A and B are shown apart, each in its own frame.
Chain A
Amino acid sequence: MSSRLRTAVYGVAGVVVLLVIAQIIGTTGLLGPTWPPITEVAAFLFDPSNHRLLGNALAATVSEAALGGLIGIVAGIGFALIAALLPLLAPGLDRFAALIDAVPAIALAPFLILVFGREGTPVIIVALSVTFIIYISTSSGLDSAGRPYRDLFSVLGARRAVRLGRVDVPAALPKLFDGLTLAAPAMILGATIGEWFGARRGLGVLFVSAMQNYRIELLWSAAVLAVLCSLIVYGAALLAQRAVVRRFA
């Protein structure tokens, strides 16, 4: 058995074991009535009468995550290019990015609600965290072409913008896509945090209302949907990243 196949088999087996344990905890009531059997969560998810509620929430969260993610990707790449082309601005942008990362999203909420409104806040929280990740990964990618390449372009008499286009940007692509794989779960997390501050719809709203109304299957179903979304985006980003690495590294 090749090591890759073995890894895959172990991984699948591990997930199955995890699900079985969760199911046993649920059916035996080991952790009380608030840990449902996985089969009941699945039944709830597949029950057509729940699809409208879950679908609306999912659509709201996914569209916020997608819009915020797009803004974040564009802004992150843009700021990284600015820092690369205008080195004078780079130290400020680097420190600002580190600060944005250290600031808890919840602390920004009052400010964001005032400026962007309750419906816009989830999008902006997603955009901020994605901007940070993409800025850092792109910047370090733009720095990643080694000294020989820099020396070569310097000796060839290339202007900064020429080197950026011909070496630094292609060399940065693998790291940029690394950043995208990381941004995937951050997108869903950011959207649901933003929804806690007064959004009308979304998985984040569903988590809180299901908890308060003691609707355990709904709570778990929404959580499963959030995890699946993150994993799907993560998987897509991972595939793209592998392809880019094959081409550019």
Chain B
Amino acid sequence: MSSVLQQASVTAPSTGSTREIALTGVAKTYPLKRGASVTALAGIDLEIADGEFVALLGPSGCGKSTVLRIVAGLEQPSTGTVSVGGASPQALSKAHRLGVAFQEHSLLPWLTVRQNITLPYKVAGRPVDTAHVRELIDLVGLGGFEDARPKHLSGGMRQRASIARALVLDPDVLLLDEPFGALDAVTRRRMNKELARIWAELRITTLLVTHDVDEAVLLADRVVVMTGRPGRIRHIEGIDLPLREHTELTRSPEFHEIVDRLTGMLETTKAA
């Protein structure tokens, strides 16, 4: 299995494995002092199909990052089940089939861009596929910066490297936690379009966590709107817009109609 995955090229992702994500009745409570507890998530049911791009949209503190951390196997649900690719998240990460990029780029400052992108191979104990790394560096547009260190890169370039690192082992599932949260608005929009282009080539099952409505609508097949305290799913919006990576899309009336509606939903959420 892993050899099949590894040999798969950038443009032709691996096939044959089930790569959907399923959360059933997931709740998360954290114990406080003196027997009290706080409920972060309640009754989350969500299925993400193979090759689907789903965005979790919600105000900060609504528990959307907790959902992603549960899918990543970084936290256990208090009740309910989660399966990724037909197995537990931990099994998937042990098999090195999970890709992740966080808001903080978490590039190792003492490694070059290339060494950072190669890191997952080292962790998995696999031989480095240099041609693949090369392809990926070009794909995310970092050609010429392979030997630079993270501190010499701009915020946008760091996130490109971070995304390339998430993709390097051709993961079954890609998890993105506010990957552009630290960028300015202009860079953020440009990176959105880049990601749309990259994703159109790869079509990996992807879960994106964001509080940016435009970003969610621009990138996702479906947008899941969450409300906070405790975190619940309020609404799921299927997005069917043509030409995602096209510059004109953000100016189209259909796009704005959806964005306005979802924004309104977030605002009423906050008031509640």
Contact = CB atoms under 8 A, between A and B. Distances in A.
A234 interface: no
B109 A155 contact: no
Contact of A155 (B72, B105, B110, B119): B72
Contacts of A151: 69, 72, 74, 100, 102, 106
B93 interface: yes
B74 A155 contact: yes
Given A157-B93, A157-B124, A152 B109 contact: no
A162 B125 CA distance: 10
A35 interface: no
A166 B120 CA distance: 11
A162 B120 CA distance: 11
Contacts of B175: 155
Interface residues of A, number: 18
Contacts of A146: 104, 106
Contact of B96 (A148, A157, A247): A157
B148 to A, nearest CB: 15
A130 B255 CA distance: 64
* Residue in A153, A155, A162 whose Cβ sees the most chain B Cβ within 10 Å: A155
Interface in B71-127: 72-74, 93-96, 98, 100, 102, 104-106, 108-110, 119-120, 122-124
A122 to B, nearest CB: 37
B110 A247 contact: yes
A156 interface: yes
Given A151-B72, A151-B74, A248-B109, A156 B102 contact: no
A152 B110 contact: no
B124 A154 contact: no
23 contacts: A146-B104, A148-B102, A148-B104, A148-B105, A149-B108, A151-B69, A151-B72, A151-B74, A152-B102, A152-B106, A155-B93, A156-B96, A156-B98, A156-B120, A156-B124, A157-B94, A158-B123, A166-B108, A166-B122, A166-B123, A170-B108, A170-B110, A247-B110
Interface of B: 69, 72-74, 93-96, 98, 100, 102, 104-106, 108-110, 119-120, 122-124, 175
Interface of A: 146, 148-149, 151-158, 162, 166-167, 170, 247-249
Q: Which 8 interchain pairs have the tightest Cβ spacing?
A: A148-B106, A157-B93, A148-B104, A155-B100, A158-B123, A157-B94, A248-B110, A156-B123
